[in-house]
Structure 1
Amino acid sequence: MVHRVDNPVPRKSGPEAAVARGDAGTSDYPDHLDSGLLKVTSVCVLAAIMTILDTTVVNVAQRTFISQFGSTQAVVAWTATGYTLALAAVIPMTGWAADRFGTKRLFIGSVVLFTAGSLLCAVAGDITQLIAFRVVQGLGGGMLMPLVFTILTREAGPRRLGRLMSVLGIPMLLGPVGGPVLGGWLIDDYGWRWIFLINVPIGVVAVTLAALIFAKDRPSGAEPFDIVGMLLLSPGLASFLYGVSSLPEHGSVTDPQVWVPAVIGAALVAGFVAHALLRAAHPLIDLRLFTNRVMALANAAMLVFAAAFFGAILLLPSYFQQLFHQTPFQSGLHVIPQGLGAMITMPVAGRLMDRQGPGKIVLVGITLMCTGMGVFAYGSWHQDAYLPVLVTGLVVFGLGMGCTMMPLSGAAVQTLRPEQVARGSTLINVNQRVAGSVGTAVMSVILTNQVNRSDAVSAANRVAALQEQARTSGRPLDPAALPAEALRPGFAQQVMHDLSHAYTMVFVVAAVMIAAAYLPAAFLPRKPVAHGSPAPVG
C-alpha cells in the first residue's frame, strides 16, 4: 500500500481527496494507524533519528577534536555552531520548497545532502574541513524535521495526529539522551570518524525506502519565492543565533562579539516581520498563521518550554562529569532514566490528545516536568541523596516531557488547513531552534556566573590548567605554582559544594521557566479538533 505525502489529484472520497480540496475533516481519515501510514512514519523517523542524533553526538567529541587536530576549544566549537547556523538558515524556506517541489523530492534531496556531508566529515583532514563539512550536513538536515512534520500531519489527519506524534517523539528523545551515549561509545571503541560514518548506511536506507514507499509528488508550484524574505530571515536568524551562542564564551551581552551579531540579526528578523505582515503576498513564513489561536498558544508554550528544556538537558552530562567524575559514556548512561520516563507517557499522551485535545495532557506534562526538575535540583544540592533523589527526579522529568513536547508540536499544526501545514511546520521548527539556542546560552551563562563567584572553583580550574600544561610538556607540576586556595584543608569539598550550588541554581531557573508555560498551555483546546476548526477550549 502506497500512501501519498503530498497533494494528489482530487478523488471522490478519502483523505487524499480531502487534502487535495483543502477541506479535510476528521471523517475522511480512519481511526487506526494503518500499515501504509506506519510505513511512511518509519521512513520519516529513520531520517529524523539520523539528524537529531548528530546535533548532540558531536558534543562529546570536542576534546577529541582538540587533540586530534591540535586545535583550540574556541575553534572546535564551530563544529557545533556551524551546524546549528546552517540549520537555522535553511529551515525558513522549507515550507515554500515543500509546496513548490513536493515533499518526496525535497525529503530525498535533503537526506542525500546530509548523508554526503556526513561522509565528507568522516574523511576531513583538518579542523577547517570538518567545520565546512558540518555546514553541509546542517544544510541537508535543516529541512528534514519541518518536512517530517508536514508529511506526517498530512498523512495522519487530526484524529490520529497525537498517536503519530508519539511515534515521532522517539527520535526527539534519542537526540539528547542517546547522543552522548552513542558518541562516547563510538569514539572510545572505533574512533571519532565513526560518529559520522554511521550516518551513511542509515541515509542510504532512508533514501531507498522513501523512493519506494512515498507516492509521486504533485506539487502545487503556484506561489512565487519570497526572495526579500529569504534575504532578511535566513541571515537574520543565523546572525542572531551566532551572537546568542557566543554569550557563554564571552560571558556578557556587552561584548561586541555577542551584541553586534545579535542586534544585526534581530534587526533583520524585525525587517522580515514587517515585510511579511505589510508587503509580501506570499511570505517565506506566513506570520498570519498566528491569527489561529491554537497555533499562537502552542508556539508561545513551546518557546518557553524549549528554552528551559534544551538549556537544562545540555548541562546534565557535564553535571555528572564534574560532580561525580564520570566519563562521557557514563554520564550519557545516567541521562537514560529521563528517556525511559518519556517513553512510558508518550504513547498515552498521544492517545489522550486525539481523544481530548492537547490542553489537559500538556498541563499534566508541565506539572510533572516542574516537579522532576525541582526534585533534581534538590538532589544536586544534597549529593548524599544522589541515587534515590536524582534518578527519581530524572524519571519524573521524563514522564512530563513525554506529555509535553510532541503534544505541543502537534497542537501547533492540528487546526491548520492542509495547505497551511507546510508553513506551520516550518514556523514551529524555527521557534524550537531559536528557543533552544537562547535557552542553552542563558543556562550556560547562569552556570558560568555562579562558578566564577567561587574562589574554590576558580582555583580548581587553575590547577586543572597547570596539570594539562605539565602533561603536554612532559615536565612535572611545580607545587609552587599552585594557587593558595588549593593548599587549604577541605579544598576538594569546597569545590564540590560550590559546583553543586551553581548547578542547583541552573535547575531551579529551568523549573521556573517551565512553569511559565502554564499560562499559554492553560488555554489550549480540551476537545478533539479538526483541520481549520476554531477548536474551542471548553
Structure 2
Amino acid sequence: MRAWAVLLVLCGAIFLEGIDVAMLNVALPAIRADLGLPTGTLSGVVSAYVLGYGGFLLLGGRAADLLGRRRMFLLWLVVFLAFSGLGGLATEGWMLLAARFATGVAAAFLAPAGLALLTDHFPEGPRRNRALGLYAGTAAGGFSLGLVAGGLLTAIGWRWVFFAPVIVSALLLVAAVPLLRADEPRPRRESFDLAGAATVTAAMLLLVHGVVRLEHGLTGATLAVFAVAVVLLALFVRIERRAARPLVRLAILRSPALVRTNLAALLFLASFAGFQFMMTLYLQELRGWSALQTGLAMLVIGIDTVLAPTLTPWLVNRFGTGRVVFGGVASAAAAYALFLPLAPDRTYTAMLPGLLLLGLAFSLAYGPLTMAATDGVAVPEQGLAGGLLYTSIQFGTALGISGVTALSTAGGMEGIRAGLMLPAVAALVALGVTAGGLRRTPAPRPGDGVPSARPSASR
C-alpha cells in the first residue's frame, strides 16, 4: 500500500511537469500583451525552460544516483516551487526568462530522481510494469489537461499559470516527506563532470540564440555566436575523452541505431514545438480566439493518451519499433502538409484532420522512439541512453521554437505560413532518418511493451 501511495506522489510530480509546460504555451499571447514582449523573447520563455531541462538532464540523473534519490527529489521539488512562483511575479522579460531557465534545471534533476524512486519502490516484474504504465499515462494526461487548465487560468490572469504549480508542488512536498523512504548510504562520493555539463549547456544556449538571431540576417555577430558554440562543443568532446567519469561516454555514439534514434527524436519534437508555437499565435493573435478556446481546439491531439497504451504496444509487437516510428513520423509530415495552405478564415472542421493526425503521430512515434533509444544498450548504460534521448527531445523543442521565430519575422498571416514551413521540412527529414533504419529493425519479441507518455517540456 505504501508503494502505491509513493507512486501517487511521483505521478503527481510528472503530471505537474506536463501541466506546467502546457499551461504556459496557451498563456503566451496574454504574457506578451501584458509585458510587451517581442516574439523573440516570447519564444525564449519556452526555450529557456527546455534548455535548462535538456542541458542538465544527464547531470541530474547522475546526481540522483550519487547523492540520493529522495534527497534530490525533495530538494529540486522545492526549487521548482520557488522559481515557478518567481515567474508569476515577473514584471520584465528577463525576469521571466531567468525563472523559466531555473525551473527547467529543477525539472532536469527532479524527473530522473522521480523515475529512479519508482523503480526503487517497485521490484522488476508485473508490478513495476503496471506502475510505469500509470506513470507514463499520467505524464501524457498532464499535457492534455494542461491546455484546458491553462485557458481557464489565463482567463483569470496569466500569473496563475505560474502560481497554480506552486500550490500543487507544496501539496506534493507535504505528502512526499513522510512517504519516501530514506536513501541508502553511499560508500563514497564520486565527482561530477561539471565541466562537461557547463560546456554542453553553454553550447546549446548559443546554438539556439544563433538561430533566433537569424531573423536579422546572417550577420557577423550571428556567425560569431555559432563559432563560439562549435568551439564549446569541441571542448566538450575533449573534456569527455579525458574525464575519469564523463557525463557522456562518447563511445556509445558509435552506434548508428542510437544516433539515428536521437536525431529522429530531435527533429520530431522540433517540428511539433514549432507548429504548436505558430498555431497558438495564429489562433489567438490572428483569429482572436481566447486562451480557453485555443486549449480546447488543441486538446484533440491528446488522443494519444488513449491510443499509446492500447494500440501502440500491439503494433510494436506485430511490426517492430522501426516501422511504427516511421508510421508516426509519416503521420506528422502529412499533418503539417495539411496546414501549409493555412488561411485567416480556415474553419476548425478543416483543421481537425491535421490535429487528429498529430495525435496519431505521437501515439505511434514517441513510445517506440524511447524503446529504440535503449534497445541493445548494455544495462549499466541504460540511464545514459535514456538521458541522451531526453536531451535530444528538449534541445529539439528549443530549436523548433527558435527556428519558426526566425522564419516568421514578416508577421501576420505571411509570417505564420513561413513559420509553418519548418515543421513540414523537419518532419520530412525525420522521415528520411527513420526510413534508413527500417531494414535494420530487429524482429519484435513476444511480450515487448512500450512507454506511452510524451515529453511534457515540449508540449
* TM value normalised by structure 2: 0.81
Q: Distance in 2 between matches of 1:134 and 1:335?
A: 23
Q: 1:85 to 1:291 in 2, by over 3 A?
A: closer
Out of 261, 264, 273, the position equivalent to 2:225 is 261
Aligned residues of 2:51 and 2:201 also touching (Cα < 8 A): no
Q: How far off its partner does 1:432 sit?
A: 1.1
User: Residues 335, 348 of structure 1: CA spacing in aligned structure 2 closer, same or farther, 3 A cutoff?
Assistant: same
2:243 maps to 280
Cα distance change on mapping 1:127 and 1:359 into 2, 3 Å: closer
Q: Which deviations, in whole Å up to 9, do the C-alpha atoms of 1:120-166 show, x marking residues without a partner?
A: 33344655544443343233123233444555577585987699368
Mean alpha-carbon deviation: is it higher for 101-110 or for 502-511? 502-511
Measured on the aligned residues, the alpha-carbon RMSD in Å equals: 3.7
Count the aligned residue pairs: 443
What pairs with 1:67-106 in structure 2 (closer than 5 Å)?
68=34, 79-106=45-72
Once the two structures are superposed, what CA deviation does each residue of 1:394-420 show, in whole Å capped at 9, x if it has no partner?
Answer: 112211211111221233235444432
Q: Which consecutive residues of structure 1, in runs of 5 or more, have no partner in the other structure?
A: 4-35, 462-495, 532-538
Q: How does 1:461-500 map to 2 (within 5 A)?
A: none
User: 1:181-220 maps to which residues of 2 (within 5 A)?
Assistant: 181-189=148-156, 191-218=157-184, 219=186
Amino acid at match of 1:331: T
How far did 1:110 drift? Answer: 1.4
Aligned residue number for residue 453 of structure 2:
none
Residues 1:528 and 2:451 aligned together: no
2:454 aligns to what? none
Change (3 A) 1:305 1:264: same
Classify the secondary structure of the residue corresponding to 1:314: helix
Q: Report the AA paired with residue 306 of structure 2.
A: I
The one-letter amino acid paired with 2:313 is R
- What's 1:271 paired with? 235
Tell whether the 8 Å contact from 1:110 to 1:143 is kept in structure 2 after alignment: yes
SS of match in other structure, 1:516: helix
Which secondary structure state, in structure 2, belongs to the residue aligned with residue 443 of structure 1? helix
C-alpha deviation, 1:225, in angstroms: 1.9
> Residue 518 of structure 1 aligns with which residue?
434
When residues 353 and 206 of structure 1 are mapped into structure 2, their CA distance, relative to the original with a 3 A threshold, is farther
Q: Is the 8 A contact 1:153 1:421 kept in 2?
A: no
Equivalent position to 1:433, from 382, 390, 394: 394
Give the match for residue 77 of structure 2: 111
Cα distance change, pair 246–199 in 1 and its aligned pair in 2 (3 A): farther
Larger Rg: 1
Q: Deviation of residue 306 (structure 1)?
A: 1.9
**Counterpart amino acid of 1:97?**
A
Which string of whole-angstrom CA distances, capped at 9 and with x for unpartnered residues, describes residues 83-134 of structure 1? 3443344323113212211222212211111012122333446555444433
Gapped regions of structure 2 (runs ≥ 5): 449-459
Letter in 1 for 2:291: P
Whether the 8 Å contact between 2:262 and 2:392 is mirrored in structure 1 is yes
Q: Do the aligned partners of residues 402 and 152 (structure 1) sit closer, same or farther apart at CA in structure 2, a change above 3 Å counting? A: farther
Matched residue SS, 2:217: coil
**What secondary structure, in the 3-state scheme, does the structure 1 residue paired with 2:308 have?**
helix
Q: Quick one: which of 349, 359, 383 aligns to 2:322?
A: 359
- Which residue in 1 is equivalent to 2:372? 411
* Higher-RCO chain (CA-CA 8 Å, sequence separation at least 6): 2
Q: 1:187-245: CA deviations, max 9, x gaps?
A: 222x2321111112211233344444444323575642223323422322333333334
* Among candidates 424, 443, 454, match of residue 404 of structure 2: 443
Rounded to whole Å, the distance in 2 between the matches of 1:387 and 1:69 is 30
Pair 1:221–1:291, CA change in 2 (3 A): farther
1:248-327 alignment runs, 5 A limit: 250-254=215-219, 256=221, 258-276=222-240, 278-291=241-254, 294-321=257-284, 324-327=287-290
Give the share of equivalent positions with the same residue, in percent: 23
Query: What do residues 282-306 of structure 1 show as CA deviations (whole Å, max 9, x unaligned)?
Result: 1012333334565334223212222
Alignment correspondent of 1:51: 17
User: What secondary structure is seen at the aligned counterpart in 1 of 2:309?
Assistant: helix
1:346 to 2:291 alignment: no
